Amino acid sequence: MKNNLKKISLKAGSILLWILLWHILGSLANSKLLFKIPLPLDTLKEFINCVKLPSFWEAVASSLLHILSGFIFAVVLGLIFGMLSGNSNIFKTIAEPISRLIRSVPVAAFIILAWLWIPSDVIPSFISFLMVFPIIWLQVETGLLSVDNRLVEMAGVMGMTKTEIVKNIKIPTIMPFFRESVITGLGFAWKSGVAAEVICNPTGSIGALLSNAKSNLEYAKVFAVVLTIIILSLLLENIIKFFWRGNLYDKIK
C-alpha cells in the first residue's frame, strides 16, 4: 500500500513539475512571440469547453471506432500470419517481403498512397491496421520459434497429443510475445490513425478537429485536442493492461 502511494505521489509530482515548467517557459516565450503559446490554464479551459459540445464526443467516438476496428483486424490477421510463418518456412519465405515492405515505408507515405484509392473516412482504419499487423505477426512468429523443440519431443514421448502440446507448451510460450505486441500495437494504431485523420481530414474526427483548429489559428483548441489525444491514449493503454493483468491464458483455458 505504501509503495503504491509512493509511486502515485512520484507520478503526480513529475506531472505537476512538467506543467509548471510549461507555464514558466510559455509565459517567458509569450512576451516575445507574435502568436502566444497557450498556458496550462488556457488549455484546460478550452478542453472543458470542448467536452461540453456533443460534436466533440461524436468526433471522439468516430475516431475510436475507426482506429480500434483497424487495430482489432490487425490483431486477428497478425495472429494468423504469425502462426503460419512460425510453423512453415515456406510461408515465412513467401510472406516476409510483405512484412519488410510495410515496416520500411514511412506511415505518411502510406497515408498519401491510400488517399489515392480509399475514401478518407476509411483511411484511419486502414493505416491503423497496416501499422499494427506486422508487429503482431512478427512477435507471434518469434514466440513460436522460441518454443523449445526438445520439450515438445519429450512431451510427445510422454504421450501428450498435439492438441495438448499446443495448449500446454506452445500457447503459454507465445502469450508473453503476443501480449507485448498487442500493447505496443495499440499505441501505434492510435498515433498513426490520428495522423491519418490530420492529413486526410475526415469529417467528424479528432484529427479533423486538430487540423481545423490549426487552420483557424485557435492555438488553445489545438492544445486542448492534443490533450484529448494524450488522455485517450493513456486510457486505452491502461484498459488493455488491466485486461492482460496476470496470465490471461491461465484464466481462459
The pTM score is 0.84
Q: What is the pLDDT of residues 84-137, one digit of tens each?
A: 887 778 888 888 888 888 878 778 888 888 888 888 888 889 999 988 999 998
Contact 226, 219 (CB under 8 A): no
Taking 60 as the threshold, does the pLDDT of residue 250 lie above it?
no
Average pLDDT over residues 182-203: 86
Helix locations, 105-170, DSSP H: 107-117, 123-145, 149-157, 162-165
Question: How much of the chain is in helix, strand and coil states, percent to nearest 5?
Answer: 85, 0, 15
Neighbour count for residue 175 (Cβ, 10 Å): 17
> Across the chain, what does the average pLDDT equal?
82
Contacts of 249 (CB under 8 A, 6+ apart): 171, 172, 175
Taking 60 as the threshold, does the pLDDT of residue 4 lie above it?
yes
